Every structure is written in structure tokens, then in C-alpha cells.
Amino acid sequence: MGTKVPIILFVFVMLCALSSAIPSKRKSYTPCKNMVLYFHDIIYNGMNAANATSSIVAAPQGANLTILAPQFHFGNIAVFDDPITLDNNLHSKPIGRAQGFYVYDTKNTYTSWLGFTFVLNSTYHEGTITFAGADPIMQKSRDISVTGGTGDFFMHRGIATIMTDAFEGEVYFRLRVEIKFFECW
């Protein structure tokens, strides 16, 4: 017995050590929450005031506010209030608005920097999700950061994988956004 007890205890110490090594916060690479949403951007071009959901509000020297700048739109800032839908149909009932801005920031290819928030307000979701990061538009799939959330998404963090789902002239584009939360609270 005198030798058995230490062995049993050794096993328990190992168990305790193991159990405390398992993170108390979910940190695996499996999202704790996952959503796919679409948003639709119609940029004002001087003729579509009624339908436009975004406007060029800044441009580099020599450019103007109705036509995207030459040199891959470098220097343009657009402000947007775009409908968010559950599928890829512009005319589906919106479940919220994507609000914020994008900046075209490269002279020799199309890239932008995004700062925006999904303001969701439907039976599905109630709350906000805020995004920030570089968007190398020409890549099929690219990741940006989900830096915070409120409401249903209180304190959430994660990654959003963005794909350009449609691109029509320089007036309409649609982004497919897969939001993967890895911190859910």
C-alpha cells in the first residue's frame, strides 16, 4: 500500500496538469460561430443617384468625384451604406447594412483598405460586426480581421474570408463574406 498510493497520486497529478493545459478559452482553428453573408455596392457615377449605395468622397490631385481615379483608382476613398443579404441576390430582403468606407491604395494593381461594420437587424441577428484590413481585390479569396462586435456578437473576434462574387463594369460589385469567429464569449 505504501508504494501504491504514490503511484495513484502521480497519475492524478498528471491528470490535473493535463486538464489545466486545455485552454479555458476556445482557441482551436474551428470557428465557434460561422456565417456567410453577401453585400452589394452600387457606386455613384453621376447618373444613378437613386440607386447608388456608395459615393467617391476623396480623390488624388487631378481626379474627380464621379469617375474612379486612373492608376487603379489609387487615392480614392468611397463611403458606403450597402444592403446585406443572405443569398447573392441584390433584390433579396436585406438583413442589415454594411456601413463604412474603402480606400484604393495601390498604383499598379487593385487593392483596397476596408474599415466597415455590419449592422444587423433582423430575426436572424441583432448586433454589429466590425472589420478592418487590406483587401487585395485581384486574389480570389482574401482574409481580413474581425476586430470586434456588439449585441449578438458581443466581444467576438475572428477572420472574414472575402470573395468577389460579381463585378459589373465599375458600378456594381457584390462581395461574399464568410465570417469565422474564433472568440465567441
Q: Which of residues 63-122 bind its own copies (CB under 8 A)?
A: 64-66, 74-77, 79-81, 97, 99-101, 103-107, 111, 113, 115-117, 119
- 163: nearest Cα among 55, 60, 77, 36: 36
In the chain, helix, strand, coil percent, each to 5?
10, 50, 45
Rounded Cα gap, residues 54 and 97, in angstroms: 12
Give the other-Cβ count within 10 Å of 126's Cβ.
14
Binder among 128, 174, 175, 179 for its own copies (CB under 8 A): 128
Binder among 3, 19, 30, 123 for its own copies (CB under 8 A): 19
46/87 with CB nearer its own copies: 46
110/172 with CB nearer its own copies: 110
32 belongs to the binding site for its own copies (CB under 8 A)? no
23/169 with CB nearer its own copies: 23
Cβ–Cβ under 8 Å, residues 140 and 163: yes
7 belongs to the binding site for its own copies (CB under 8 A)? no
Cβ–Cβ under 8 Å, residues 153 and 179: no
State which of positions 138-167 bind its own copies (CB under 8 A): 143-151, 154-155, 157-159
Rounded Cα gap, residues 97 and 70, in angstroms: 29
46 belongs to the binding site for its own copies (CB under 8 A)? yes
Rounded Cα gap, residues 126 and 136, in angstroms: 30
Binding part of the chain for its own copies, among 35-43, 59-67, 85-93, 169-177 by CB under 8 A, reads 59-67
85/128 with CB nearer its own copies: 128
176 belongs to the binding site for its own copies (CB under 8 A)? no
Reading phi first (left if > 0) and then psi (alpha if -120 to 50, else beta), residue 129 is in beta
64/89 with CB nearer its own copies: 64
